[in-house]
A and B are shown apart, each in its own frame.
Chain A
Amino acid sequence: MRWGMLINLVKCAGCYSCAIKCKQEHFLPPGVMWGRILVSESEGKLPTAKRNLYPVLCNHCEDPACVKVCPTGATQQREDGIVWIDPDKCMGCRYCLIACPYQVRSYISEDEKEYFPGQGLTDFEKIGKKLYPHQKGVVTKCNFCMEIIDKGISKGLKPGEDREATPACVNSCPNKARYFGDLDDPSSEISVMIREKKAVPLHPEHGTEPCVYYVIG
Chain B
Amino acid sequence: MKDKATASADIKDYWAYTICSGCYNLCGVKIRVVEGVPISIEGVPESDLGGQGGLCGKGVATIMDFHDPNRIKYPVKRTNPKKGLYEDPKWERISWEEALDTIAQKLKPIVETDPRKFVWSFTPGPGTPFKATVYSSFFFLACGSLNQAFGGVGSQCGAAAHHAGALMHAAWDILPDYRYCNFVLRCGGNEGHGGGRMAVTSMRQAAAARDRGMKTIVMDPIGFKAGADADEWIPILPATDIAVFLAMARIIVHDIGTYDKEYIRNRTNGVYLVGQDRLFVRDKESGKPLLWDEKDNRAKAYDDPTLSHPAIEGDYSVNGVKCHPAFHLWKELLKQYNAKWASEISTVPEERITRLAHELVENAKIGSTIEIGGMTFPYRPACVVGYKGVQTHQNAFHQYLAMNLLNVLMGNQDSPGGIVGSGTVRSFGHPETGRPRFEPYGGVDGMLTPGFWHTRTPWPPHDVGGPGLINLLDIMADSSMNPYPYTDDFDEIWTNIGRPYEVEAFGMYGGNIVMNIVSEKTINNFLAKIPFMFSINTVHNETTEGFADIVLPDVHAYESYDVASSIGFFFNYPIGLDKWSFHVRIPVVEPQDDLKDTLDIYFDLADRIGIREKYSTFLENYFSGKKSTWEQDDVKEAEYVILRPDERISAKEFTNRVLKYYFGDERGVEWFQKNGFMTWEKRPDETYWRYFVNARIPMFFETVARNKPKIKEIFESIGIHMNWDYYTPLISYFPSVVYTELPPNSEYDLLGVSYRDVLHTHRHFLENPLVDEMSASNPYTFNIVMSEDTAADKDIQDGDIICVENHWGDKVEGRVKLSRLIHPRVLAVVGLGGWAKGRPIAKNKGVNFNSLLRADYKHMCPVVGSLEIVARMKAYTVKRRTEQ
Q: Number of B interface residues, CB 8 Å?
A: 68
- Whether the Cβ atoms of A174 and B55 lie closer than 8 Å is yes
- Chain B, 63-105, CB within 8 A of any chain A CB: 63-64, 67-70
CB B758 to nearest CB in A, in angstroms, measures 5
Tell me if B43 counts as interface (CB < 8 A to partner A).
yes
Q: Which candidate, B45-53, B382-390, B576-584, is the interface stretch facing chain A? A: B45-53
| Docked-complex contact A119 and B778, CB < 8 angstroms | no
A131 close to B770 (CB less than 8 A) = no
Residue of A nearest to B34 (CB): A127
The residue among A46, A122, A124, A173 with the most chain B CB atoms within 10 A of its own CB is A46
Task: Please state if B60 and A17 are interface contacts (CB–CB under 8 Å).
Answer: yes
Check A13/B193 contact, CB under 8 A, given A40-B779, A115-B64, A116-B69: yes
Interchain CB contact under 8 A, B777 and A36:
yes
Do residues B67 and A15 form an inter-chain contact, with CB atoms below 8 A? no
The answer to whether B43 touches A46, judged by C-beta atoms less than 8 angstroms apart, is no
Q: A115-B769, A122-B69 are in contact. Are A17 and B54 (CB under 8 A)?
A: yes
Q: Which of A23-71 contact B (CB under 8 A)?
A: 23-25, 30-31, 33, 36-37, 39-41, 44-47, 49-51, 53
- Residues of chain A within 8 A of B42, CB atoms compared: 171-172
- List, in ascending order, chain A residues with CB within 8 A of B232's CB: 47
Contacts of B200 in A (CB 8 A): 15, 174
User: What CA separation (Å) do A58 and B200 show in the bound complex?
Assistant: 26
A:136-176 near B, CB below 8 Å = 163, 171-176
Instruction: Determine if A41 and B50 form an interchain contact, defined as CB atoms under 8 angstroms apart.
Output: no
In Å, the complex CA distance between A41 and B817 comes to: 11
Query: A39: which B residues are within 8 A, CB to CB?
Result: 777-780
Q: Give the distance to chain A from B784, nearest Cβ to Cβ, in Å.
A: 16
Query: A8 contacts B61, CB within 8 Å?
Result: no
- Best-buried of A17, A33, A115 by chain B (most CB within 10 Å): A17
Q: Which of A36, A120, A127, A175 contacts B35 (CB 8 A)?
A: A127
Answer whether residue A87 sits at the interface, using C-beta atoms and an 8 A cutoff: no
Partner of A16, one of B68, B758, B822: B758
Q: Tell whether, in the assembled complex, residue B779 and residue A15 are in contact, meaning their CB atoms are under 8 Å apart.
A: no
Known: A47-B223, A47-B235, A175-B203. A116 touches B70 (CB 8 A): yes
Surface stretch bound by A, among B138-146, B207-215, B566-574: B207-215
Q: How large is the interface on A (under 10, 10 to 19, 20 to 34, 35 or more residues)?
A: 35 or more
Residues of B close to A51: CB separation below 8 A? 223-224, 228, 821
Query: Which of these, B206, B207, B773, B787, contacts A31 with CB under 8 Å?
Result: B773
Contact of A30 among B193, B235, B769 (CB under 8 A): B769
Q: Give the residues in chain B near A45, CB-CB below 8 Å.
A: 820
Residues from chain A with a CB closer than 8 A to the CB of B774 are: 16, 19-20, 37
Contact with B along A112-132 (1 / 0, CB 8 A): 000111011011101110010
Asked if A177 is at the interface (CB within 8 A of a chain B CB), the reply is yes
Question: Does B856 belong to the interface (CB within 8 Å)?
Answer: no
Within the assembled complex, what's the spacing in Å between the Cα atoms of A175 and B204?
4
Contact between A116 and B819 (Cβ–Cβ < 8 Å)?
A: no
Give the interface centre of A13, A25, A119, A163 by most chain B CB atoms within 10 Å. A13
CB-based nearest B residue for A217: B210
Contact of B206 among A13, A30, A116 (CB under 8 A): A13
Minimum C-beta distance from B360 to chain A (A): 19
Choose among A51, A119, A120 the residue with the greatest number of B CB atoms under 10 Å from its CB: A51
A-side contacts of B224, CB under 8 Å: 41, 51
**If A11-B208, A16-B774, A173-B54 touch, does A21 touch B60 (CB 8 Å cutoff)?**
yes
The minimal Cβ–Cβ distance linking B138 to chain A, given in whole angstroms, is 33
Q: Are B779 and A24 in contact (CB under 8 A)?
A: no
Closest approach, in angstroms, between the C-beta of B773 and any C-beta of chain A? 7
Contacts of A53 in B (CB 8 A): 228
Residues on A with beta carbons closer than 8 Å to the beta carbon of B63:
24, 124
Q: Does A10 contact B (CB under 8 A)?
A: yes
> Which residues 172-205 of B sit at the A interface, judged by CB distance below 8 A?
192-194, 200, 203-204
Q: A15-B194, A115-B64 are in contact. Are A124 and B57 (CB under 8 A)?
A: no
B40 contacts which of A25, A115, A116 (Cβ < 8 Å)? A25
- Is A201 close to B, CB under 8 A? no
- Interface: B59 (CB within 8 A): yes
User: Does A92 sit at the interface, judged by CB under 8 A?
Assistant: no
* A49 and B821 form a contact (CB under 8 A): yes
Give the nearest-CB partner of A14 in chain B. B758
Given A16-B774, A25-B40, 16 new contacts (CB under 8 A): A13-B194, A16-B57, A20-B57, A20-B774, A41-B224, A44-B820, A46-B787, A47-B223, A49-B821, A53-B228, A120-B69, A171-B42, A171-B53, A174-B43, A174-B51, A175-B204
**A-B pairs with the 10 shortest C-beta distances?**
A174-B51, A16-B57, A174-B54, A175-B207, A51-B228, A49-B820, A11-B207, A122-B67, A15-B56, A115-B769
Chain A to chain B contacts (Cβ below 8 Å), 20 pairs: A10-B210, A13-B758, A16-B57, A16-B759, A37-B774, A39-B778, A46-B235, A47-B233, A51-B224, A53-B228, A116-B69, A116-B841, A119-B70, A124-B67, A172-B43, A174-B50, A174-B55, A174-B56, A176-B207, A176-B208
Taking Cβ atoms with an 8 Å cutoff, the residues of B that contact A are: 34-35, 37-43, 45, 50-61, 63-64, 67-70, 192-194, 200, 203-204, 206-208, 210-211, 223-224, 228-229, 232-235, 758-759, 769-771, 773-774, 777-780, 787, 789, 819-824, 840-841
